[in-house]
Structure 1
Amino acid sequence: MNTLVLVANAGDGTISTLRQADASLEEVTISQVGDGCNAFVVDHARDLVYAAVGDGVVTLRLDRNSGALTEVSRRGDTGPLVSLDLAHDGMVLAGASYHDGHATAWPVADGSLSDPVGRAEHANAHCVVVVGRFAYVASLGEDLVAQFVIGTDAALTPLDPATTAAPEGSGPRHIAVTSPNAYLVTEFSAEAIRLDVAGDGTLTPAESVRFDDPAAGLAHSRFGADPRAEHLRWGADVHVAGDFLLCSERTGSTITSISLDQQGRLREVAAVTAVPTQPRGFGVSHDGSLVVAVGERSSDAVLFRVETDGKLTELDRAQVGAKARWVRFV
């Protein structure tokens, strides 16, 4: 089976299209998208890709045969965005702005963004994830996750309560949701925190597990620190892969596999795998059996198989652009 994998390269403003077939990974093409190409989200039904570039969002059409991306539209006044997700079958786009401190939602028609409707102010908003009619925003600056109903008109209506707290100084960063569980990773403390998802969409923190490599001897980080220079924890991305929660840590350049029980609760660390240097983002195949990891300080995308014991076995490598940050199987 042939599957496309997209990788956003912030350093040269491109998206690399790779082809994964069984145990192989090969570069297909590379498309120029725009300076600072960062987060992106895929509308699979329409083969549209929404990518954050500079202070805007560009919509691209994916040709699944050639792998090429062709611009459809561009909106240049969204501000810098570090996370994007789609709601209501691709009719609403939600974004999080770390630098400007907000989450915003736009109606979408034929791939073009209309004027924004929903907006919520949260310091250093680092991630927005949409599940059904609910949207969740991780605020690194406020140590919380904000929770909303996201309307078909792109309105953001806070739930009651409007937020759920993370540990003080932990730095909430990315979220993965597989109801009835949500998983939050923190940047400064490198913790994976499971949260129960209630029927009304509200989140309640449950257990947590540290995911930095114990052998690295990393200390707790803080806002404004240089993790590499000071040898500090630097949590980044999170995805569910079958019976494991995978979490990336950038200082040690690892992905940690945490076992999940049948209810999705966190158990023990099953494996720690070395990956390309400074792994800000990685992607998991739709069936949870494969991982493609990239690093901001590496030119390689690496294909791994997720073993039954949680270990990641390298299968192949392919070249990508500079400062690779975001990965999606499409």
Structure 2
Amino acid sequence: MTMQMYITLAEEDRIARYEVDTATGALTHIGDTATAARPAPLAVNPTGDRLYVGCRDAIAISTFAIGDGGALAHIGDAAVDNDPCYLSTDRAGRFLLSAYYEGGRCAVHAIGDDGAAVSPPAEWLATDKGAHSMQTDPANRFAFVPHISGGNGPNAIFQFRFDAETGHITPNTPARVAPDAELGPRHFCFHPHKDILYFSDEQGCSVTAYNFDADAGTLSAFQTTSTLPDGYDGQNSCSQIQIAPSGEFLYAPNRGHNSIACFSVDAHSGALTPIGHAASEAVPRAFSIDPTGQYLYAAGLDTGKLAAYRIEDDGTLARIATYDVGEGPMWVLLIGD
């Protein structure tokens, strides 16, 4: 299996491309692709041949064709009204979903026959400030848009019905679910085998697990677990979140404590148990787990370095290398053949 890694470097207006040695986790820098101003979020379509890039200062979404060896060729731009902070495709790869933190909106763009996102969007919906991510569920029937708190958002997850034929979204009932505390849900991931979603809580410095009613498309929280070690009282906020492909382990970076919080996932209930922290580069905003579940890579926004870790059998992380990648790493995406 060969793997490609893409890293957006917001301060250098480029995407750095690396080849991943799946036997060792080692990276080889094999090229760079220029982008419009301040590239940040990345997404790949289900077939793995189109890469979508949100360019936050250019106020646009760019589409690149992924060629042999992971090479990128620009094929189009979609204009948007605000700077996109998150991108994902729906499960069929027919629509590109996006969230707008500053604009307080979410959007759905159709994807054309050439694989490029199309303007104008099929849906451009005002939600509230602090909209931070957007994904559809595995059945492609529902969508969720978490909004942070702390005076920068309503501290709620907006719940939508998603029409996979038209791309339109409509509020579900209830239209939102709000945590009991000021947690600030930011990003989320789906358990690979269970109807459970896990949200990183930006202000709460925690992970909250939700049961997902796959028929109604609604969420109900059943556990909130801190990402910080006991006794830490410094500044911190959470960023992204990912679960291992096996569903056995989950990871969430701490920006401030500068660590990756590691959790084991109960095979029956999906509940989380903290199993330790791995020191990271400063401000680990972006990270990714490789598709085989062997390695984790986390970028330090303040250092311009990428830390590579081996995922041990018990789910803890062992750092195996550190790479200088460039200024302002905003997203790390791994694609396997």
TM-score by length of 2: 0.89
1:207 equivalent in structure 2: 223
1:197 equivalent in structure 2: 212
Specify the code of the residue in structure 1 equivalent to 2:136.
V
2:141 equivalent in structure 1: 133
Structure 2: stretches of 5+ with no match in the other structure: none
CA distance in 1, matches of 2:27, 2:262: 22
1:9 equivalent in structure 2: 9
Distance 1:116 1:307, change over 3 A: same
Report whether the alignment pairs 1:61 with 2:86. no
Report whether the alignment pairs 1:184 with 2:160. no
Counterpart of 1:294 in 2: which secondary structure?
strand
2:291 to 286, 290, 309: 286
Specify the code of the residue in structure 1 equivalent to 2:199.
L
Identity over the aligned pairs, expressed in percent?
22
Alpha-carbon offset, residue 44 of structure 1: 4.3
Alpha-carbon offset, residue 236 of structure 1: 0.7
CA distance in 2, matches of 1:189, 1:268: 17
Specify the code of the residue in structure 2 equivalent to 1:28.
I
1:232 to 231, 235, 242: 235
Q: CA RMSD in A?
A: 1.6
Alpha-carbon offset, residue 207 of structure 1: 0.7
Specify the code of the residue in structure 1 equivalent to 2:327.
A
Deviates more, 1:273-282 or 1:317-326: 317-326
2:82 equivalent in structure 1: 79
Report whether the alignment pairs 1:310 with 2:323. no
Alpha-carbon offset, residue 90 of structure 1: 1.5
CA distance in 1, matches of 2:97, 2:284: 24
Structure 1: stretches of 5+ with no match in the other structure: 219-230
2:275 to 256, 270, 273: 270
Deviates more, 1:89-98 or 1:76-85: 76-85
Alpha-carbon offset, residue 309 of structure 1: 1.9
Check whether the contact 1:213–1:252 (CA below 8 A) recurs between aligned residues. no
Alpha-carbon offset, residue 291 of structure 1: 0.7
Distance 1:138 1:58, change over 3 A: same
Check whether the contact 2:46–2:91 (CA below 8 A) recurs between aligned residues. no
CA distance in 1, matches of 2:226, 2:319: 24
Report whether the alignment pairs 1:108 with 2:111. yes
Aligned residues: 316
Check whether the contact 2:10–2:329 (CA below 8 A) recurs between aligned residues. yes
Specify the code of the residue in structure 2 equivalent to 1:126.
H
CA distance in 2, matches of 1:306, 1:240: 12
TM-score by length of 1: 0.91
